[in-house]
Structure 1
Amino acid sequence: MGQLDTNLQALLDKRKQKGRFRSLKEYDTRAGSGLTDFSSNDYLSITTDAGLREAYVSRIASEPMVLGSTGSRLLSGGTPSHRLLERRLADHFDAPSALLFNSGWDANVSFFGNAPQPHDWVVYDELVHASVHSGMRASRVAADRKVQFLHNDPESLAEVLQKITTESKKNAGKTKPTIFLAMESLYSMDGDFAPIPSLLDVLDVYVPRAQQCVIVDEAHSTGVYGSGGRGVVDALGEGTTRTGSGRVTVRLMTFGKGVGCSGAVLLASETVRSFLINFARPFIFSTALPLSTVFALESAWDFLGSSKGETRRALLVDTINYFMDRVGPLLAFTRPTILRLPDPTPVPFPDGRTLPPRPAAPIIGLLSPTPHALSAFLLERGFVVRPVVPPTVPPGGERVRICLRAGIDLGALDGLIRALAEWVKLKLADGEEEVRAKL
C-alpha cells in the first residue's frame, strides 16, 4: 500500500470509529423483488409511469442524435433543443429567463460562487444545502460577510439584518451592497417548509428592494407543489415574473427528484443569466445536458403540466396523510429517546395563501440514536429506509429518513408501521408492559 492509500485509510478508519462511514448501496425494488422503496425522491412515482415511458421512447425514436450533446453550451453542445426547453421553462414558470445546468449542485455553486461581489452580504438559513456552502466558499465574499440565521426563524433573521444595517451605515458613501438571502422551500431532512412570506417581510424592513436578492432552492418541491408543479414560491405568489412582481429574485428548480430526470434550471433575470454564462465555471466547462435528457425533460413536463400531474400531486398528499395518521399514534406512545419526529418549527403559512396552512411533505425524518441498526432491521422486513448521520445532519440529529411516493401500496405503508412498532417494542425497557400492549 502506497503512502497515499495509507494516509487515506487512516482517515477512513477514523470515520468508521465515529459511525460515519459511507458506502454505496444498491437495492432492487422492482415488482416481485420483495423490497419496497421508502428512500427514493421520486415523489410522484413518475419514473415508472408507463405512459410517460411510451411518450419518451416515441420522442427519442424520431431524433437522429440522442446519446450526447458533444460539448459545452459555449462550444458544440448548444442546440435548438436546449434553448427551446429553456424558453418553455421560462414560460411555464413565468420567469424573465431560464438557464439549464447539469445538476442543482452545479447551479448553486455557479450562482453563489460568482454572483455575490466582495462588498455584498450573503445571509443564509443554517440548514441550507451543502452546494450553497460550496458556492460561498468559492466566492470573493469575505467570511465575515457570510452570515447564517437560525433555521426558519424570522426573529433570528431580523437580528442578523440589524447587524448588517448597522455595519452598512458605518460605510455610507461606498458602493451599496446587495443582500443575498438564501433558503430552501422544503428542507430535505426534517421535511419542513420555510416561512417564505414571513422571512421576506423581515427582509423588507431592513433592506430596500433594490438591494435585495432572494434565492430559493426548490429542489424538493419542483413538480410536486403548486399549479402545474411550479413549486412553493409560485403557489405563494412570491416569484419574480416577467412583469417584475414577486420578491423572490432567483429560483432553482431541479429535475432529479419530483421530475424524475436529471439536471436543473435557474430562473432569474436576463442579466443574471448572461453573467453566469460568462463567469460560472461549472457551466462554461461542463458538457451540456445530453439530448436524451432534454427530451426526457420535455416528456416529463408534458406529464407534470397535465391533469395526470395534478392527480399525482393530490394522490401524494393522500398518501402522506394516510401514513401520518398511522405513525402519529405509534410515536405518541414511544419514548423520544427511542424514536421521534424532529422538533416542529413554528412556520404556519399565512391565511389566504394557495398552500394549506400546514402543507403535507413527503419527507419524514424519524430520529433514532441507532439509525444504522434501525435501517438494517427494516431492510430485513422488506423496507428500504436509509440512515442519515453526521456530518449530513448535526450530532444528535441521527435519523432514518422515510420518503413517500404517490400511489405507493397502502399495504406496504401499514407493513412499515408494523415494523416500526416492532422495533419500538424491542427497545422498550422492563416495566413498560402497558405501553408495549398499546403498541
Structure 2
Amino acid sequence: MKLPENLTQKLENRKQNNSLRQLPSFNNLVDFSSNDYIGFSKSEAIFKQAHHYLIENDIIQNGATGSRLISGNHSLYQIAELFIAQFHGSESALIFNSGYDANVGFFSAVPQRNDVILYDELSHASIRDGIVMSNAKSYKFNHNDFEDLERLILKFPDTTIYIVTETVFSMDGDSPNLEELVALSEKYNCFLVVDEAHTLGVFGEKGEGLMQYLQLQDRIFARIMTFGKGLGCHGAAILGSSALKEYLVNFARSFIYTTGLSPHSVSTILTAYQHLETEKETIEKLRQNIVFFNQQKNLLGLKPMFVRSKSAIQSAIVPGNKNVKQLAGQLQDKGFDVKPILSPTVPEGQERLRFCIHSYNSQEEINQVLNLLGNFVF
C-alpha cells in the first residue's frame, strides 16, 4: 500500500533539505560518535557477570512476562532499585524501560493542571514530549539564562512551579551553573528536576553524576538517570522521595502500560552499577582525555569552532546540512566515526560535528582527528 501523499511530501522535503535520517551501517571506525563513554557496553566482565548472576540465583527467564504491576516485577527489580538508590544517595529509585520512557512518564504525570513548567530551551526531545502530554502550562527560558528564568518565575506567584534542566546538554555538551540554579529554585520554593543522562559514569569519583559531585542531590525534587550512555546498557531510573516513587507507580503511564525489562536487562544494570564502584581508573582516563581534547583543539586554533564544554560531548559548529555532512564524510573516509548533527535536530545555522570522547580513545587518535579537522576546515 502506498504511503499517503502528505507523508511522501514530508520525506521529499527532508531529502531536499539534506536532512533525511537513515539508519547507518555498522563500521569499524575509531569511535568518536557513541555515548559509550567508559566502554561498559563492550565490557566482557559485565557481560559474563550479569549472566552468571542469573544462573547463580536460578533466574532462568527470557522476559518479564508482563507489566511490573501484573507479573513483570521480578525479584531483581527490588535488588537493583535498592542498590541504585543507595549509590546515588536517594531515598528511592524507580526503573523505567528507557530514558525516553522516564521523561515522558514523569512530565506527563507529575505537573498538574494550573501548575507551571519552566524548561531550558535546549531540553531534550523526550522532556519536551512529556511536557506536551502534561496538563500543566509550560514556558521555555533562554539556555542557561537564570535572569530569564527568574523573570518567568515572578510571573506566577502562588503557583506550583517545576524547573527543568539537564546537567550536561546532549547537543552542546555544556552545563548550567547548578549551584546558582538550586539556590534560585529554593528561593522561590520551586521543584527542580534534572536530567543526568550524560553525566552518569562521567562526573563524580565513581561516576555518580554531576549533582552528587557538587553535593546538591538532597536539594532537588527529582533526578533522571539514563543507563544507555555511561552505564553502557539500557533503561533509566527516576530518583527522588519514596512518595514520588509511589506516585509514579500509580500515575506514570509509560511505566504502567508496558512490559517490564527482562531479568537479563536488570541484571546488566545492577552489574554495571557494581562496576562503577571499582572503575575509578577508567573514569579518570575519560577525564584526562576530555582535558587533552580541549588542550589540543586550543593548540590547533580550533577553539572558535567549538561550543565551550568540559564534558565528554564536544561540538564543532559547521553551518549548513550539506557542509557538515561533507566534513563528517571526509573524517569517516580517514577512519574516524564522527557524526554530523543536522537541522532540524539543532536550529538551522547551528549544524555541527559532535565528537564524543571515551576512556578508550588514545591521545594519538584525538590528535589525528583534530589535525584532520583543521586540515579540512582551513
TM-score (normalizing by structure 2)? 0.95
Which residue in 2 is equivalent to 1:392? 345
Which residue in 2 is equivalent to 1:147? 139
Verify the 8 A CA contact 1:154 1:199 in the aligned structure 2: yes
Aligned equivalents of 1:27, 1:7: Cα separation in 2: 32
- Residue 203 of structure 1: CA displacement? 2.6
Aligned equivalents of 1:269, 1:371: Cα separation in 2: 44
Verify the 8 A CA contact 1:158 1:203 in the aligned structure 2: no
SS in 2 for 1:227: coil
Which residue in 1 is equivalent to 2:153? 161
Which residue in 2 is equivalent to 1:411? 364
Verify the 8 A CA contact 1:126 1:150 in the aligned structure 2: yes
Which residue in 2 is equivalent to 1:269? 241
Verify the 8 A CA contact 1:233 1:248 in the aligned structure 2: no
Matched residue type, 1:41: N
Which residue in 1 is equivalent to 2:50? 56
Aligned equivalents of 2:186, 2:85: Cα separation in 1: 26
Which residue in 1 is equivalent to 2:373? 420
Higher relative contact order (CA 8 A, sep 6+): 2
- Residue 132 of structure 1: CA displacement? 1.1
Verify the 8 A CA contact 1:214 1:250 in the aligned structure 2: yes
RMSD between aligned residues: 1.7
Aligned equivalents of 2:355, 2:62: Cα separation in 1: 34
Verify the 8 A CA contact 1:317 1:360 in the aligned structure 2: no
Matched residue type, 1:325: Q
SS in 2 for 1:228: coil
Mean Cα deviation higher: 105-114 or 14-23: 14-23
Match status 1:191 vs 2:173: yes
- Residue 410 of structure 1: CA displacement? 2.4
Report Cα offsets for 1:162-207 as digits up to 9, x if no partner: 2223xx4xxxxxxxx32101000011111111211111222333x1
- Residue 288 of structure 1: CA displacement? 0.4
- Residue 223 of structure 1: CA displacement? 2.1
Matched residue type, 2:214: L
Verify the 8 A CA contact 2:51 2:267 in the aligned structure 1: no
Q: Compare CA radii of gyration and give the structure with the larger one.
A: 1
Match status 1:321 vs 2:264: no
Aligned equivalents of 2:146, 2:6: Cα separation in 1: 45
SS in 2 for 1:371: helix
Verify the 8 A CA contact 1:254 1:265 in the aligned structure 2: yes
Which residue in 1 is equivalent to 2:34? 40
TM-score (normalizing by structure 1)? 0.82
Verify the 8 A CA contact 2:206 2:283 in the aligned structure 1: no
Match status 1:281 vs 2:275: no
Verify the 8 A CA contact 1:161 1:203 in the aligned structure 2: no
Which residue in 2 is equivalent to 1:361? 311
Matched residue type, 2:169: Y
- Residue 140 of structure 1: CA displacement? 1.0
Identity of aligned residues (%): 35
Verify the 8 A CA contact 1:157 1:199 in the aligned structure 2: no
- Residue 414 of structure 1: CA displacement? 2.0
Match status 1:79 vs 2:78: no
Aligned equivalents of 1:264, 1:13: Cα separation in 2: 35
- Residue 27 of structure 1: CA displacement? 2.3
Map 1:116-127 to 2 at 5 A. Answer: 116-127=111-122
- Residue 47 of structure 1: CA displacement? 2.0
Aligned equivalents of 1:204, 1:302: Cα separation in 2: 33
Report Cα offsets for 1:289-331 as digits up to 9, x if no partner: 111111111211111112xx21111100111112221122323
Verify the 8 A CA contact 2:185 2:191 in the aligned structure 1: no
Aligned equivalents of 1:256, 1:110: Cα separation in 2: 17
- Residue 15 of structure 1: CA displacement? 1.3
Which residue in 2 is equivalent to 1:437? none
- Residue 218 of structure 1: CA displacement? 0.2
Report Cα offsets for 1:201-235 as digits up to 9, x if no partner: 22333x13xxx211000000012211322111111
Report Cα offsets for 1:3-61 as digits up to 9, x if no partner: x34332211001111221111102222xxxxx111100001112223333332342244
Mean Cα deviation higher: 98-107 or 88-97: 88-97
Aligned equivalents of 2:45, 2:258: Cα separation in 1: 32
Report Cα offsets for 1:321-347 as digits up to 9, x if no partner: 122211223235x9x6xxx113x4xxx
Aligned equivalents of 2:357, 2:347: Cα separation in 1: 23
Match status 1:297 vs 2:275: no
Aligned equivalents of 2:314, 2:110: Cα separation in 1: 34
Aligned equivalents of 2:111, 2:370: Cα separation in 1: 46
Aligned equivalents of 1:6, 1:115: Cα separation in 2: 38
- Gapped runs of 5+ residues in structure 2? none
